[in-house]
Chain A
Amino acid sequence: MLRFVVRRLMLLVPILLGLSILVFLWIRALPASPAVSLLGERATPESIAQIEEQYGLDEPIHVQYWSYLKTVAQGDLGTTIRSRRPVTDELRERFPATIELTFAALLFAVTLGIPLGFAAAKRYGTWVDHSSLVLSLLGISIPVFFLAILLKYIFAVELGLLPTVGRIDVLIDIEHPTNFYTIDALLAGDLAAFWDVIKHLILPAIALGSIPLAIIARITRASVLDVQNEDYVRTARAKGLAPRTVDARHIFRNALLPIMTIIGLQAGLLLSGAVLTETVFAFPGMGSWLVEAIRQRDYPILQGGILFVSLVFVLVNLIVDVSYALINPRIRVS
C-alpha cells in the first residue's frame, strides 16, 4: 500500500513540472503585454517598455522561467499587478471562499443525489426512474450561469428571500482568522453571522451543485442496479432478511464505492463551474479571481493561481485514488 502511495506521489513531480512550464509558456504566448494592463487607458509605447523592463519581461525566456521557478519554490508567488499585493495573500482569502462554496455544493448534490438515484434504481423502469433520469439530465443540460442567473432572479430579486451578492452582509463585522466564513462566524460565536453566511451560500451552491447532483444520482442508480444482482445480495434475500436491511447493509454499502469515487472526481468540475457561478453572484473566490486576472492579464495571479488550483486538483485525485485502493484491494494488485 505504501509503495502504491509513494509511486502516485512520484508521478506528481513530472505533472507539476510540466504544468509550471505549460502555464509559464502560455502566459508568454498571450497577445497583450501586462504592462498595458497596468497603465490602462493612458498607456504609451514608452511607458509600456519601461514597465516591461521593470518587471523583467525583457529578459530571455529561460532566465525568466528559472527565476520564476526559484521564487515559486520558496513559496513566493509574486505581487499582483492590479492590487500590488502578494499573490499568496489574495490566495489565502480566495481559496477558502471557493472551498466553502464547493463543499456546500457537494453537500447539496450528495444529500439529494444519492436518495434520488437510490429511489430510481429501486423502482427501475417505472415513472420514478424515468422522471429522475430526465430531472438529472436536465441538471446537466442547463448552462450553470443561466441557472445561476435564474435562481438569483427568482429567489433573491423577485422573492427577496436570499441575498444576491457576496459572502456575508457588509454590516456584519466579524474577524476572519481562517477566511472560511462559516468557521469564522462560529469562532466568533456569532450565530446571526453564521446564518447570514449560510444564506449567501445557498443559491450559489444550488447552481454549482446541479451538475454533480445529476452525476451522483446517475452513478448511484447504476451501481445500485449493479449490486442488486450480486450473489451475496441474492443470498441475503434468500436468507429472509428484511428488504430494508438488505438495502442498507448489502446494497447501499457496496454501491457506495463508485459513488465515493465520483464525488471525489467532482473537484475539477466544481472549479470550472465556480468560475461561472462566482461571476454571477459576485462571490469573491478563486473562479472570479482567475477570470478577472485573465481579462486583465495579471500574470502573477495567473501563474500562481492556476498552479495552485491544479496542485489541489491533483492532490484531491490522489486522495481519491488512494482511498479507493484502501477500500478495494483489487486495485492495488494491478
Chain B
Amino acid sequence: MSVAQAEAREIQLEAPSGLWSEAWRRLRSNPGAIVGFVIVTVFLFAALFAPLIAPEDPRSGDLDRLGGVCCPGPSADYWFGVDQQGRDVFSRVVYGARFSLLIGIVSVAVGLSVGLVLGAAAGYLGGWVDSAIMRMCDIMLSIPGLLLAIGLVAILGQGIWQIMIAVGVTQIPIFARLLRGSILAARESDYVLAARSVGVRGRSILASHIMPNAMSPVIVQGTLALATAIIDVAGLGFLGLGPQDPATPEWGTMLTDTTRYLQSAPHLALIPGAAIVISVLGFNLIGDGMREALDPRFRGRA
C-alpha cells in the first residue's frame, strides 16, 4: 500500500459529502490550508515563469567555474551555488518546479482517468464487471506500490515519462476503488432513488446525480496523489531509474545525483531536497484542509 492508498482509505472512512460553499468558507479559516496555498502559489509561479526568473540555462554549465573543486556553495553570483557540472543551481531549482508540476499532473491524470473509468464501470454496472475490475485492483494492490512502479519502468525503459506513467498506473486501483465506493453509496441514497422513481434514465442519473456527489473524495484524493506522485518519482530516481538525460533539471534527479556530495558540498543535495519537501507539503496541506472542510463531522466547529 502506498501513502495514497492509506489516504484513500481514510477518505472513505470519513465519507465526506459536499456542500462546497460552506467547505470553501471553512477552508479559508484553516491556517494550514492557507500556508499550503501560499506554497503552491509560489511553486506554480516558479513553474510558469521559470524562463523569466532563472538567470541561466539550467542545462548547460561551465566546468571552469569549479576550478577543480566540487562545488562552490551559495554566493552573490550563484544564490544556490554551482553544481558538479558547473551549472547554476538556482536556475535548475526554478526550472525543476516545472518538472515537478508536470510529474504530478501527468501521473495523476493517468491514475485518475483510467481509475475513474474503471471505478465508474464497476460501481454502476455491478455484477461480473464489478468483480472482474475489483479482482484486478486487488491483484495490483497486492504488489507494494514502489515495486510495481519499478517493474513497470523495467519494461517501459528508463526515462522521465516512463516514470510518470508507472507512478500513475500504481494509482489506478486507488482511484477506481474510491470512486466505486462512493458511487455505491450514492446509488442507494435518497436523491438517486427519487430520480429513478420519477423515471430519469440510468445514464443521466450517473452523470447528473451520482458523479457530482461521488467526486468530492476524488478531488481530495487527487490533490494528495499529486504530492505522492512527486515523492514516488523522486524515489524511483533515487533507484537510478530517472530521466535519460542527466542534464534534466528535475528535483528528484538533482537530489539523487548529489547525495554522494553530501560531505563535500551539502548544498547540492539539501537545496533540491528542501524544494521537494516544501512543495509536497504545500499540496498535502491543501489536500488535508479540503478533506477536513468537506467532512461533515467538522461542520460548524471551526
Contacts of B154 in A (CB 8 A): 30-31, 294
- The one of B10, B35, B157, B235 that contacts A218, using a Cβ cutoff of 8 Å: B10
The interface bits of chain B over 262-291 (1 if a CB of A lies within 8 angstroms of the residue's CB, else 0) are 110000010001001110110011001000
Nearest-neighbour CB distance to chain B for A258, whole angstroms, equals 6
CB distance from A31 to the nearest CB of B (A): 7
Determine if B142 and A314 form an interchain contact, defined as CB atoms under 8 angstroms apart: yes
Residue from A19, A150, A225, A276 within 8 A of B235 (CB atoms): A276
Interface membership of A146, Cβ < 8 A: yes
Report how far A140 CA is from B276 CA in the complex, Å.
12
B256 closest partner in A (C-beta): A145
Q: How many contacts between A and B, using CB within 8 angstroms?
A: 158
* Structural contact, A276 and B147, CB atoms closer than 8 A: no
Residues of A within 8 A of B285 (CB): 134, 137
- Asked whether any CB of chain B lies closer than 8 Å to the CB of A179, the reply is no
In the complex, A211 Cα to B232 Cα: how many Å?
Answer: 13
Q: Is the CB of B144 within 8 A of A276?
A: no
Q: Which of B239, B252, B288 contacts A291 (CB 8 A)?
A: B239
Query: For residues 138 through 159 of chain A, which have their beta carbon under 8 Å from a beta carbon of chain B?
Result: 138, 140-146, 149-150, 153, 157
Q: Does B59 contact A (CB under 8 A)?
A: no
Asked if B5 contacts A19 (CB within 8 A), the reply is no
CB-defined contacts of A313 to chain B, threshold 8 Å: 142-144
A18-B9 in contact given A225-B297, A272-B144, A290-B147 (Cβ < 8 Å): no
- Residues on the B chain within 8 Å of A11, using CB: 138
Query: Given A141-B280, A222-B10, are A18 and B239 neighbors across the interface (CB < 8 Å)?
Result: no
Q: Are A145 and B238 in contact, CB atoms less than 8 angstroms apart?
A: yes
Q: How many residues of B contact A (CB 8 A)?
A: 55
- 130-169 of chain B: CB within 8 A of chain A: 135-136, 138-139, 141-147, 150-151, 154-155, 157
User: Are A306 and B147 closer than 8 Å at their CB atoms?
Assistant: yes
Q: Report yes or no: B157 in contact with A145, Cβ–Cβ below 8 A.
A: no
Report chain A residues within 8 Å CB of B14.
Answer: 222
Residue of B2, B147, B278 contacting most chain A CB atoms (<10 Å): B147
**Is there contact, CB below 8 Å, between B227 and A143?**
no
Cross-chain contact B139 with A265 (CB below 8 angstroms)? no
A269 engages B3 (CB within 8 Å): yes
Contact check, B10 vs A15: say whether CB atoms are below 8 A apart: no
For A26, the chain B residues whose CB sits under 8 A away are 151, 155
CA distance A11 to B269 in the complex (A): 46
Could you tell me if A137 and B135 are in contact, using CB atoms closer than 8 angstroms?
A: no
- CA gap between A149 and B280 in the complex, in Å: 18
Tell me whether B301 is interfacial, beta carbon within 8 Å: yes
Residues of B contacting A140 with CB < 8 Å? Answer: 3, 227, 284
| Residue B198, interface by CB 8 Å | no
Besides A145-B235, A275-B150, 10 more A-B contacts (Cβ < 8 Å) are A125-B301, A130-B32, A137-B284, A143-B234, A143-B277, A153-B263, A269-B144, A275-B144, A306-B147, A306-B151
Listed from nearest, the 9 A-B pairs whose CB atoms lie closest are A268-B1, A272-B146, A141-B281, A141-B280, A271-B144, A310-B142, A272-B144, A18-B139, A269-B1
Chain A residues packing against B (C-beta within 8 Å): 11, 14-15, 18-19, 22, 26, 29-31, 124-125, 130, 133-134, 137-138, 140-146, 149-150, 153, 157, 211, 215, 218-219, 222, 225-226, 229, 258, 261-262, 265-269, 271-273, 275-276, 279, 290-291, 294-295, 306, 309-310, 313-314, 317
Q: B residues near A, CB below 8 A?
A: 1-3, 5-7, 9-10, 13-14, 31-32, 35, 135-136, 138-139, 141-147, 150-151, 154-155, 157, 227, 231, 234-235, 238-240, 252, 255, 259, 262-263, 269, 273, 276-278, 280-281, 284-285, 288, 297-298, 301-302
